Amino acid sequence: MKPEKLMEKLKGVLGSSYKIYPDSMKQVDGAMFLLAKKDKEKLLVVIGPSNVTGAFSGEYVGEVELKETKEKSKVKISERNHKNLMVLRKLLPWLNPSPCGKRSSFGTGDRLGIATPAHVKAFEGKKCFPFLAQQSVREMSRTGRNWVSVLDDTLWGVFESGYEGPFGADADHVKTIDDLKAAIVAGYTMFTIDPSDHVVDPKTVEKPMAEQIYSELDKEHGFSSRYLGKVYEIGDKKYTFEEDSLREVVITYGKAIDHVEDCYRLLKSENPNPFDLEVSVDETSTPTTPLAHIFIAEELKRRDIEFANLALRFVGEWQKAIDYIGNLNLLDDTLAEHSAIAKAFGPYKLSLHSGSDKFSAYPVFAKHVNDLFHVKTAGTSYLEAIRVVARRNPKLYRRVHDFALQRFETDKASYHVTTDLSKIPDLLEVPDTKLEKLLDEPNTRQVIHITYGSVLTAKGSDGKYLFRDELYETLCDYEREHYEQVTSHIRKHMELLGL
């Protein structure tokens, strides 16, 4: 049955208060599934025989003729909860995430859990594998979400959009074994291991302690006999591990690689499904040198750790929410070296973290990595949602802005930013019609970006959220505008990457 005809029939059952999402309508084995919205709440509509509708919790509201045979099919309204989603995933297998492999890929983290339809639209016509579910442990801790809720929100968004293609789910910046186990159980398909807690900055360690760290690691792994004096010819460059350079990379990354190995062994033993592995060493105080890159790649390969992506700390400043800060010529030169190393030891994809809004760096990055890349964005979709709030609900934006300024000094503790609060315009001097332009000002953008957790979880003395509910209500009222805003912004990223 054509969607238009079914929608007419459903109006008689559901009433005019329901808005149907036509793209979500899917017919499988004599049953129909779709998404509808009533009073700002999105609900699952299941139409079909009792053996199908009975698998979902909910309320029967009537019957419609789903087939031309005049047979009546029951109509049930169901909540968008985890149990109903798990049933739906069995009936609609394209709702299940899958591994990516070494295809070019792009991650669209969603801190609000409502932007997936916009993200799906952004990928239309782009030769790139989408990671539609992507959230870090830090982000979840700040928003009160977990692996299951993040994935569920994404899958409901995939269902709403009608998308039936492949996509991935990235358990991002996993630091502990316990978090890794929880992500496995939740059904993620990529695991980004962040061993930064095990990275050692040699400059911050007294010489006796540094010597002890090196001695213990060398005794366990035989690094000096394996690497000392070894020469690597890659492209037109030669790299040699001298005594000082070897000690530095071993002290810095030795324990981190041990941790990655522990995580990988756990994944292999406890995860029954194929998966992608990303190793992230981007959250360090200094850029990853070519020798360090070689050491990391050699060690991962020697230990039979199969990884698809490696996230390095590239030169320059990759601060949250704003464009790249640094010398693009130097970035060009170093990316050429890192790309050559990745091809020689892999090939594997180079992954770019803090990828949101790095517009000036994208063409340089794309020039060297070709199709072997992964890019992560997250906060930028939240910021574009806040832009819509500033445009459509200026009173709410002003409250959020003031609160964010109060929270910034506390919330920035786990980020490296050079935000200058004195450069943020006085809100009292900005008319409502110009509020959204504040999101183009780098310092304002960083303040709003970094304080997202506090804004979304803050409650008043009465126990009610200060901003969260009104933010969601505003974005619900202007849903199409919100989707279009996010889609356009994400597509700008992809186009500068040459997609």
Residue 429 lies in a domain: yes
CA distance 407 to 393: 21
Domain end residue (candidates: 74, 91, 108): 91
pLDDT at 1 over 70: no
Domain C-terminal end among 70, 91, 112 = 91
Q: How far is CA 381 from CA 196, 388, 491, in A?
A: 26, 11, 12
Asked whether residue 175 is assigned to any structural domain, the reply reads: no
3-state SS, residue 27: strand
Which residue is listed with tokens 């901003």?
467
Q: What is the mean pLDDT of residues 329-334?
A: 98
SS3 103: coil
The predicted-structure confidence for 312-326, as pLDDT tens digits, reads as follows 999 999 999 999 999
Residue 30 forms part of a structural domain: yes
Return the amino acid letter for 395: K
User: Which listed residue (110, 139, 152, 172) is catalytic?
Assistant: 172
User: pLDDT tens digit string along 116-141?
Assistant: 999 999 999 999 999 999 999 999 99
| Alpha-carbon gap, residue 73 to 161, rounded angstroms | 24
End position of a domain, from candidates 42, 71, 91: 91
258 is an active site residue = no
* Cβ atoms of residues 49 and 31 within 8 Å: yes
- Indicate whether 406 belongs to any domain: yes
Beta strand spans in 194-236 (E): 231-234
Please state the φ and ψ torsions of residue 155, each to the nearest 5 degrees. Answer: -65, -35
Residue whose entry in the numeric block shows the structure tokens 């010398």 = 327
pLDDT in tens, 437-455: 999 999 999 999 999 999 9
Cβ count within 10 A of residue 10: 22
Does pLDDT of 3 surpass 70?
no
Span 233-277, pLDDT tens digits = 999 999 999 999 999 999 999 999 999 999 999 999 999 999 999
Does the residue 210 lie in any domain? no
Question: Taking residues 17-41, what's their average pLDDT?
Answer: 93
* Average confidence (pLDDT) over 134-152: 97
What tokens were used for 151? 């994935």
Residue-level pLDDT at 414:
84
Rounded to 5 degrees, what angle do the CA atoms 138, 141, 145 make? 120
Q: Is residue 454 part of a domain?
A: yes
Query: Is residue 108 predicted with pLDDT exceeding 60?
Result: yes
pLDDT in tens, 342-386: 999 999 999 999 889 999 999 999 999 988 999 999 999 999 999
- Residue 254 carries which DSSP code? H
pLDDT of residue 68: 57
Q: Residue range 30-34: average pLDDT?
A: 93
- Region 98-110: mean pLDDT is 97
pLDDT at 102: 92
Q: How far apart are CA 47 and CA 56, in angstroms?
A: 11
The angle subtended at Cα 470 by Cα 464 and Cα 476, nearest 5°, is: 135
Domain count within the chain: 2
> pLDDT value at position 72?
87
Kindly state whether residue 125 falls inside one of the protein's structural domains. Answer: no
Q: Catalytic: which of 276, 278, 384, 411?
A: 278
**Dihedral of alpha carbons 159, 161, 164, 165, sign:** negative
For tokens 């000036």, the residue is 360
Is the pTM above the cut of 0.85?
Answer: yes
Whether residue 442 has a cis bond before it, omega within 30° of 0: no
Q: Is 299 a residue of the active site?
A: no
Domain that holds residue 35: 3-91
- For residue 461, the 8-state DSSP code is T
128 found inside a domain: no
pLDDT exceeds cutoff 80 at 467:
yes
pLDDT of residue 347: 95
Residue pLDDT, tens place only, 384-435: 999 999 999 999 999 999 999 999 999 999 888 999 999 999 999 999 999 9
For the chain, the average pLDDT equals 95
Between CA 128 and CA 371 the distance in angstroms is 9
pLDDT at 7: 75
> What integer pLDDT is reported at residue 70 of this predicted model?
67
Residue-level pLDDT at 323: 97
Confidence tier at 9 by pLDDT (50, 70, 90): confident
